[in-house]
Amino acid sequence: MKLFLTSSPCSPYPQKDGSILYGYSRENGFLEEFSKGWEPGCQCLMISSDPEAFSRNDKMKEEFRGFFEISGIPVAGLVLLDRRNQRELNRLLKESLIVILAGGHVPTQNAFFAQIGLKAQLAGFEGTVMGISAGTMNCADTVYAQPELPGESADPGYRRFLKGLGLTDLQILPHYQEVKDRILDGRRLYEDITFEDSRGHTFYVLVDGSYVLVQDGLRLLRGEAYRLCNGVMEKICAKGCKMEL
């Protein structure tokens, strides 16, 4: 399996007429790495984060179909899995070379993955898996479900650590450039909540455009990223740079 752990893998593609379309990012060599080794006409399976959000899921599917087209990646079919076709998971995985784990609400997606037995279904999958945001976070063996919605950080019943897919032991937090100054339930998301939750854990914090490539036992971090451990955060990689974890 080739595993991409991303924050957001997409970026704008300015057009000659002044319009802007979106495709897969060329930053930090992502598009080049992501498109390596694919056979023309392969199928991509995208697994939603909210199995009941049919309208939003259909819109997301069409958006990603456009991302493949604008990026020049030869995908013949893009199939979305949610509640409507979840019983077809086994067959769809066998027919697909690429699996995308969509972004969204981490606990909601985590529960859906457990319901469909995704961890067991992915055992032996030899294609490419890409996690996006929540999808990346749920790839971990132990998932840190960073509080996101109002009330979650103040709720003593909110579970911050969940059982994930076990595709990696890396606990990754996405979109740092967007949420680093966020206030949630009257407290600073990072300094007052996440720093404390990092006691006894190591979180890798990514900005959009950065990612970790896991393949053949290697874990290669590319782009701007930070390590947060025991309440201390430090920058470990810069845009355009790479390092093994």
Q: What is the mean pLDDT of each run of 10 residues along the chain (245 residues)?
A: 96 87 93 84 94 97 92 88 98 95 98 98 94 98 98 97 98 98 98 98 98 96 98 98 97
User: Is 130 inside a domain boundary?
Assistant: yes
Angle at 54 between CA 51 and CA 55, to 5 degrees: 145
Residue 193 lies in a domain: no
CA 183 to chain centre: 23
**CA 122 → CA 11, 97, 172, distances in Å?**
28, 12, 20
- Number of domains comprising the chain: 1
pLDDT for the residue numbered 216 = 92
In this structure, what CATH number is given to the domain that contains residue 66? 3.40.50.880
Assess if residue 95 is contained within a domain: yes
Write the CA distances from 240 to 3, 32, 71, 72, 233, integer angstroms. Answer: 20, 14, 20, 22, 20
Residue 83 inside a domain? The answer is yes
Residue 90 resides in a domain: yes
pLDDT at 61: 95
Q: What is the pTM of this model?
A: 0.95
User: Cα–Cα distance between 131 and 153 in angstroms, integer?
Assistant: 24
Range of the domain at 66: 2-150+159-172+208-219
Give the pLDDT score at 72: 87
The residue whose two tokens read 């845009």 is 239
Q: In what order do the strands lie in the sheet with 2-6?
A: 75-81, 42-47, 98-101, 128-132, 2-6, 211-215, 218-222, 242-244
- The helix/strand/coil state of 47 is strand
Burial of 19 (0-12, 13-18, 19+ CB in 10 A): exposed
DSSP-assigned beta bridge partners for residue 244: 220
Any domain includes 179? no
102 in a structural domain: yes
Does the residue 124 lie in any domain? Answer: yes
